[in-house]
Amino acid sequence: MKVGIVGLPNAGKSTLFNALTRSRQAQVGDYPFCTIEPNVGVVPVPDGRLAFLAGLAHSEAIIPAVVEFVDIAGLVAGASRGEGLGNRFLARVREMDALVHVVRCFAGNGGAEAGSALGDVETVATELLLADLESLEGQLERQRRRAKGGEKDAAKICALAERLVKHLGNGQEALSLPLGEGEGDYLGSMCLLTAKPVLYVCNVAEADLAGESGPVLALRRYAEGHGPAAVCAVSARLEEELGDLDPSDAAQLLAELGVADSGVDRLIRMAYELLRLASFFTAGEKETRAWTFRRGMRAAACAGVIHGDFEKGFIRAEVVSFADLFRFGSMAEARAAGRYRMEGKDYRFQDGDVALFRFSGPGRGG
Ligand code: GDP
């Protein structure tokens, strides 16, 4: 999963990116979390369940689920007309599954009143809308030609594109357009920027973290009308500092500020929620590992997350929920209580399922 960090210059994107990527390496065992390129970083999804599972299975290593964050600089007003890094910026955004939109809500250097934070968000939103409208025009032309040529699906795609043009023209993101049967796939293939879920991150002053300041409330109202979207408040600079402290000092600093947990942890969890992602686990002596799947995915597809051969040769999944394992304290007890289930390929995986896949394949007895 790839999440792009966007926002106007000086919103705090790089500061947040550093906090997300650098600070977390020490926390997650031996797995190499790294910055792939200067602006791309792989970040583990915090999950307290892994340590418990690894203890039960005497695992040598813990491998958490990961999210890839990309710091996408270069958005300025006029990007859709090629200003700033215009086209390069937009092409990069297209590759993302979701966006974290950093909004400057701290004072200083022309920093924010409620109105200006909202104005910043609208500037970015407008550029994305304009870029989508332009892309839709080109796509409509192509699909109309295909429709004339008698291509079956072209008329349906045209109808959707026309509705989208109207919707975007009203200042609404593609994501909020009600879709008919089968239109989700068409929308997906249109690669629109405003079809991506957005997490608005209000970058607030440390002093504003404990309560909700004006700009944060204003953005919450905005997000309600431009959803599905989520809003959270962090102080990017504080998060960067926390990353340099050892855990007990970090906890003390958070307590002094009246904040319950690290904003970065919250942000990663919210991005996961927003994308409707969940984790299932595998646990053995070599490793305990979290795997990411989309809510509603079935057992065979989940097996495929681990390896294509698991999906092809799928026989069954042996599943126990984390909650049951935790309650009964061991696999044997959970089994004795009848909580260890055999599930077929159509079983819909649940967040926290601990699974063992049985499959047949070359060199495998099943
Ligand atoms: P970008 O252009 O969006 O990548 O913004 P930067 O991350 O480079 O931040 C712009 C400036 O704002 C830098 O001088 C940061 O130190 C400062 N800054 C970023 N986050 C915070 C914050 O949470 N509080 C304060 N006071 N300053 C911040």
Q: Tell me: do 168 and 213 sit in the same domain.
A: no
C-alpha of residue 103 to centroid of ligand 1, in Å: 11
Q: Tell me: do 107 and 217 sit in the same domain.
A: yes
Q: Is residue 221 part of a domain?
A: yes
Smallest CA separation from ligand 1 atom 18, residue: 12
Contact 209, 260 (CB under 8 A): no
Q: Tell me: do 163 and 63 sit in the same domain.
A: no
Q: What is the pLDDT of residues 214-246, one digit of tens each?
A: 888 889 999 998 877 889 999 999 998 888 888
Smallest CA separation from ligand 1 atom 14, residue: 10
pLDDT (0 to 100) of residue 27: 46
Residues pairing with 320 in the sheet: 354
Residue type, 296: G
- Top mutation candidate among 15, 102, 123, 234 for ligand 1, by most atoms within 8 Å of CB: 15
pLDDT (0 to 100) of residue 362: 66
Q: How far is CA 337 from CA 54, 252, 322, 324, 329, in A?
A: 22, 42, 14, 9, 11
**Residues 80-107: what's their mean pLDDT?**
83
Asked whether residue 16 carries a pLDDT value surpassing 90, the answer given is: yes
Domain range spanning residue 268? 2-113+197-274
How far apart (Å, rounded) are the C-alpha atoms in residues 219 and 172? 15
Residue whose tokens read 């418990």 = 52
Output the six-digit token pair for 84.
């700033």
Smallest CA separation from ligand 1 atom 7, residue: 12
C-alpha of residue 92 to centroid of ligand 1, in Å: 22
C-alpha of residue 239 to centroid of ligand 1, in Å: 11
Degrees (nearest 5) of the Cα angle 8, 126, 132?
A: 115
pLDDT (0 to 100) of residue 365: 41
Residues pairing with 232 in the sheet: 201
Of 194, 216, 231, at which residue does a domain stop?
A: 194
Total domains, the chain:
3
Q: What are phi and psi of 208, to 5 degrees?
A: -95, 5
Asked whether residue 28 carries a pLDDT value surpassing 50, the answer given is: no
Which ligand 1 atom minimizes the distance to the CA of 15?
A: 7
Asked whether residue 321 carries a pLDDT value surpassing 90, the answer given is: yes
Q: Tell me: do 21 and 91 sit in the same domain.
A: yes
Least trusted range by pLDDT, from 4-8, 170-174, 251-255: 251-255
Contact 298, 349 (CB under 8 A): yes
Q: Tell me: do 212 and 77 sit in the same domain.
A: yes
Helix axes 247-256, 236-244, angle to 10 degrees: 150
Residue whose tokens read 């996408």 = 72
Q: Tell me: do 217 and 269 sit in the same domain.
A: yes
| Most confident range, picked from 36-45, 153-162, 240-249 | 153-162
**Residues 95-101: what's their mean pLDDT?**
92
Kindly give the pairing relationship between strand 66-71 and strand 2-6.
Answer: parallel
pLDDT (0 to 100) of residue 324: 97
Residue type, 56: L
Closest CA to 264 of 23, 5, 7, 49: 23
Q: Is residue 129 part of a domain?
A: yes
Of 243, 274, 305, at which residue does a domain stop?
A: 274
Asked whether residue 270 carries a pLDDT value surpassing 80, the answer given is: yes
How far apart (Å, rounded) are the C-alpha atoms in residues 112 and 106? 6
Q: Tell me: do 245 and 139 sit in the same domain.
A: no
**Residues 120-149: what's their mean pLDDT?**
92
CATH code assigned at 132: 1.10.150.300
SS3 102: strand
Residues in the chain: 366
Asked whether residue 159 carries a pLDDT value surpassing 90, the answer given is: yes
C-alpha of residue 44 to centroid of ligand 1, in Å: 23
pLDDT (0 to 100) of residue 36: 58
C-alpha of residue 238 to centroid of ligand 1, in Å: 10
Least trusted range by pLDDT, from 115-119, 133-137, 147-151, 290-294: 115-119
Q: Tell me: do 177 and 254 sit in the same domain.
A: no
State the pLDDT confidence band at 113, using cuts at 50, 70 and 90.
Answer: low
C-alpha of residue 20 to centroid of ligand 1, in Å: 14
Of 274, 304, 328, at which residue does a domain stop?
A: 274
State the pTM of this model. Answer: 0.83
Residue type, 256: E
Q: Is residue 81 part of a domain?
A: yes
Q: Tell me: do 39 and 176 sit in the same domain.
A: no
Degrees (nearest 5) of the Cα angle 135, 136, 140?
A: 125
| Most confident range, picked from 56-65, 113-122, 199-208 | 56-65
Which ligand 1 atom minimizes the distance to the CA of 71?
A: 4
C-alpha of residue 299 to centroid of ligand 1, in Å: 44
Residues with CB under 6 A from ligand 1: 7, 9-15, 106, 203, 205, 235-237
Q: Is residue 335 part of a domain?
A: yes
Q: What is the pLDDT of residues 171-188, one digit of tens each?
A: 999 999 999 988 999 999
Q: Is residue 229 part of a domain?
A: yes
Which ligand 1 atom minimizes the distance to the CA of 239?
A: 23
CATH code assigned at 109: 3.40.50.300
pLDDT (0 to 100) of residue 29: 44
Q: Tell me: do 189 and 210 sit in the same domain.
A: no
Smallest CA separation from ligand 1 atom 19, residue: 12
Q: Tell me: do 79 and 154 sit in the same domain.
A: no
Q: Is residue 330 part of a domain?
A: yes
Which ligand 1 atom minimizes the distance to the CA of 204?
A: 23
CATH code assigned at 316: 3.10.20.30
**Residues 319-330: what's their mean pLDDT?**
96
Q: Tell me: do 144 and 21 sit in the same domain.
A: no
Per cent of the chain over pLDDT 70 is 90
**Residues 191-199: what's their mean pLDDT?**
93
Asked whether residue 259 carries a pLDDT value surpassing 90, the answer given is: no
Handedness of CA 83, 88, 91, 96 (dihedral sign): negative
State the pLDDT confidence band at 295, using cuts at 50, 70 and 90.
Answer: very high
Which ligand 1 atom minimizes the distance to the CA of 236?
A: 23
**Residues 325-349: what's their mean pLDDT?**
96
Q: Is residue 313 part of a domain?
A: yes
pLDDT (0 to 100) of residue 115: 59
Which ligand 1 atom minimizes the distance to the CA of 205?
A: 24
Q: Is residue 89 part of a domain?
A: yes
C-alpha of residue 190 to centroid of ligand 1, in Å: 34
**Residues 118-135: what's their mean pLDDT?**
91
Distance of CA 202 to the CA centre of its chain: 17
